[in-house]
Structure 1
Amino acid sequence: MSCNYADNLSPYDDKGILGTPEIFDTQDEVNKKVEQLVDLILTSKHIVVHTGAGISTSCGIPDFRGPNGVWTLEQKGIKPKIDVSFKDAIPSKTHRILKLLLDRGFIKFIISQNIDGLHMRCGTPRKNLSELHGNMFTSECPKCKRQFVRSNPVPTVGRKAVGVTCKNNQRPCRGQLIDTILDWEDNLPEDDIEMAIMHSTLADLNIGLGSSFQIMPSGKFPLRSQKYGGKFALINLQPIKVEKKADLVIHSYVDEVMEKIIKRLGIEEIPEYCEDEDPTRKEDLSINWNIPKETIKEVEILYKARTERNKKQKFSTADEIVVKKKIKKDE
């Protein structure tokens, strides 16, 4: 449960802005904005989705900074109500729709700040997912760096030992596995943050879902492609600082908006949660959960091409200005 996770974190005073009232667009406004977002989706080639705690509230998992969020209530001296455990929670409509949009080729990558493992549990491939703050259903060997899927949530947070020995079949190192959940001052996982930065930069459309984007550096990721002409769309119930830089903002429930989006894309059915696609329900507890190295290398090539092209464009523009000044002087 998110409140149990929060209880295990180290004390930390600056939890950001808490309890901002939610606002709702009218249905006419939502429908109009959904049409605009669908147009952006259909004209974009590299779409990246950034997800926060707001996409899991419909699963019974509280968010942190909403009006009834874990830290908002904590500030008032109130203990959050526990609706469902991490183990019993199942992926929301939004989780399942995002997996569907990945399968259909509409989106390229998902960057999540959530630790609930629900993207993984609806079958989202690791190569298409960055989990910036870790995953309750994975553990990692600090020796060989291999990550494993777990059938139960980890009992610890802050990259501590979970009481299991590494069973890496390729190179038995007998390391003591640790959780992948970050504490406040922990560094973000190297492969996940690299993929997040590269895909955010490559995106011609970044979409934010259910996040206040207050935690840095992930809060700035959706804006990385704007200097290359990329767009940023946001779906969130609370008004937040970053929306001033967004090209489109929808204030409504994420599940409802996502359902409207796929209908306008000609998709009528939302896939149901399927245990066969959930690796935490498998008997094999040696399932690898690392981002494939070959995938990282492929994205690195695209990223370098994009950034080098931008450098050349800047040089050309600067060169052109110098030439124009010289012509004017000669005249």
Structure 2
Amino acid sequence: MLIVMAVCGIDQCSLIQCSEQGIVSVAARIEVCTILPSKVTKSEREKFVIRWSRRGEAVFHPECWQMVITSARARNKKNMKVKFLSAAEKLMVKEAAKTAERHDSKEAFEREAARIAEILKSSKHCVTFTGAGISTSAGIGDYRGKSGKWTEDARAVVRLDTGDSPSGSLSDSDDNIDEEQSGVPYEDLRPTYTHEALCKLMELGYIKYIISQNCDGLHVLSGVPEKQLSELHGNVFKEKCDRCGQIYERASYVLNDPLSHYFEELQDQGMTRMTKPDYVKQCNTCGLCHYTGRKCEQKGCRGYLHDTIINFGDELDQSILDRATEHAKLSDVMMCLGSTMTVTPACHLVEMGQQPLKLIICNRQKTALDDICLEMDSEMKQPRGSRVFGDCDLLMREVMRHLLSADELTTWDNEKMKRMAQYDKQRKS
């Protein structure tokens, strides 16, 4: 399921007790989203110390969020820096903490972008590791963020348990918001600034290889050569013959979701009214169906085509993993964009590079590898890597300003419409 990114739309600190109030786009901030109680009376709402939006979103100065979360976890009132935080709102804050997204200031972005550019210039084999965060601006939600699939699924659980919208009674004055997220056809997605920047940096030799956890096909569409890319979790535009192994790249989404629904209904309900085609087989590992409903086009081959997607329980394609491992071990710089690096075995590739490891991470949530980015270089007297919290597109715009001359950057930017037209042609062919 695809999730359309939601925008918080709050321009002031959500903590009512905050003395500064204003939050501007260039300042550091924390954005969160909670699950609102299904029933909130007007009197209870008036006692909240946080201005929650109708969808349960809030934004804070980093120091204000620290006070809020510390107070929510305090065992006695003496340790609560935020006064009048009710038991109900404490639970909301703790739920919000699971989705917290951090955004560094514009000043921090500019400083780190300059350092990252220098790291890339001195690198001999930079590998980029990408996750869902680089595709959010294309229209695909991430997983754990405030607008991610995990958060939306949690909302759905509340709706199922209570029969109510979890966010329908917080503010009488808010505009009505459709709680159901719309699906976005994969064919309509186009490469983001980050996708295009990575392709350009690969063309210029700054990046040697890309390892991606994404299956949206946007790296390929942006022009990244297949030989310099490992799509660990597959590609929704590719299918493979189960007999001869021939790969077919299509202009449209290849998964046959109704066939997987056949097995899902059997598992969930014990029965289904769907008719099972003879060629359909249930996957032994994920329990779904990978067959797309088409046959191999190679002469003399009677094989059936199946998708290349790695579902939970499936094993990674060994040849793709082997290429990724080879380049991960060769890397002298590993640049991780839009990933929390928690999905195995993909995340293990990040630490396979040459030692001492130079690690660059940009996303909006903490990771277990953040400290590696900040390990000091004894000779340079500065961190070997870089840790940036925020949107990948914003960072890459700054990085490109340091790696391309003003004329080169202008020319490249002016060619964007031409590139978009080419993407449209590829997806509609």
Q: Which residue of 1 aligns with 2:145?
A: 66
Is residue 134–residue 194 contact of structure 2 (8 Å, CA) maintained in 1?
A: yes
Q: Which residue of 1 aligns with 2:204?
A: 104
Is the counterpart of residue 259 in structure 1 residue 397 in structure 2?
Answer: yes
Is residue 102–residue 389 contact of structure 2 (8 Å, CA) maintained in 1?
A: yes
Is the counterpart of residue 241 in structure 1 residue 368 in structure 2?
Answer: yes
Q: Which residue of 1 aligns with 2:310?
A: 182
Q: Tell me the distance in 2 between the aligned counterparts of 1:123 and 1:278.
A: 13
Q: Which residue of 2 aligns with 1:221?
A: 349
Distance 1:61 1:276, change over 3 A: same
Q: Tell me the distance in 1 between the aligned counterparts of 2:98 and 2:2.
A: 16
Distance 1:99 1:249, change over 3 A: same
Distance 1:51 1:278, change over 3 A: farther
Is the counterpart of residue 81 in structure 1 residue 181 in structure 2?
Answer: yes
Q: Which residue of 2 aligns with 1:130?
A: 230
1:117 to 198, 202, 217: 217
Is residue 208–residue 228 contact of structure 2 (8 Å, CA) maintained in 1?
A: yes
Is the counterpart of residue 2 in structure 1 residue 130 in structure 2?
Answer: no
Q: Deviations over 1:115-167 (max 9, x none)?
A: 11111111211101100001010101111112111121122475611111111
Q: Tell me the distance in 2 between the aligned counterparts of 1:258 and 1:280.
A: 25
Residue 242 of structure 1 and its aligned partner are, at CA, apart by: 2.0
Residue 89 of structure 1 and its aligned partner are, at CA, apart by: 1.0
SS at match of 1:110: strand
Is residue 145–residue 151 contact of structure 2 (8 Å, CA) maintained in 1?
A: yes
Is residue 121–residue 279 contact of structure 1 (8 Å, CA) maintained in 2?
A: no
Code of the residue aligned with 1:37 in structure 2: it is I
RCO higher in structure (CA 8 A, sep ≥6): 1
Unaligned 5+ segments in structure 1 are 5-16, 284-331
Q: Tell me the distance in 2 between the aligned counterparts of 1:127 and 1:279.
A: 23
Distance 1:172 1:49, change over 3 A: farther
Is residue 149–residue 280 contact of structure 1 (8 Å, CA) maintained in 2?
A: no
2:331 to 203, 213, 216: 203
Residue 257 of structure 1 and its aligned partner are, at CA, apart by: 0.6
Distance 1:144 1:279, change over 3 A: farther
Distance 1:18 1:208, change over 3 A: farther
Q: Which residue of 2 aligns with 1:192?
A: 320
Q: Tell me the distance in 2 between the aligned counterparts of 1:191 and 1:44.
A: 26
Which stretch of structure 1 is more off in the superposition, 216-225 or 175-184? 216-225
Is residue 337–residue 363 contact of structure 2 (8 Å, CA) maintained in 1?
A: yes
Distance 1:179 1:96, change over 3 A: same
Is the counterpart of residue 231 in structure 1 residue 354 in structure 2?
Answer: no
Q: Tell me the distance in 2 between the aligned counterparts of 1:120 and 1:18.
A: 35
Is residue 160–residue 178 contact of structure 1 (8 Å, CA) maintained in 2?
A: yes
- Equivalent positions of 1:22-61 (< 5 A) are 22-61=101-140
Is residue 242–residue 306 contact of structure 2 (8 Å, CA) maintained in 1?
A: yes
The TM-score with structure 2 as length reference comes to 0.59
The percent of aligned pairs where both chains have the same amino acid is 32
Q: Which residue of 2 aligns with 1:281?
A: 427
- Equivalent positions of 1:301-320 (< 5 A) are none
Q: Which residue of 2 aligns with 1:14?
A: none
Distance 1:69 1:29, change over 3 A: same
Q: Tell me the distance in 2 between the aligned counterparts of 1:152 and 1:215.
A: 27
Residue 192 of structure 1 and its aligned partner are, at CA, apart by: 1.2
Q: Tell me the distance in 2 between the aligned counterparts of 1:61 and 1:277.
A: 17
Is the counterpart of residue 160 in structure 1 residue 290 in structure 2?
Answer: yes
Is residue 235–residue 308 contact of structure 2 (8 Å, CA) maintained in 1?
A: yes
SS at match of 1:196: helix
Residue 47 of structure 1 and its aligned partner are, at CA, apart by: 0.7
SS at match of 2:188: coil
Q: Tell me the distance in 2 between the aligned counterparts of 1:128 and 1:259.
A: 22
Residue 274 of structure 1 and its aligned partner are, at CA, apart by: 3.8
Code of the residue aligned with 1:81 in structure 2: it is Q
Q: Tell me the distance in 1 between the aligned counterparts of 2:352 and 2:386.
A: 16
Distance 1:148 1:231, change over 3 A: same
| Greater Rg over alpha carbons, structure | 2
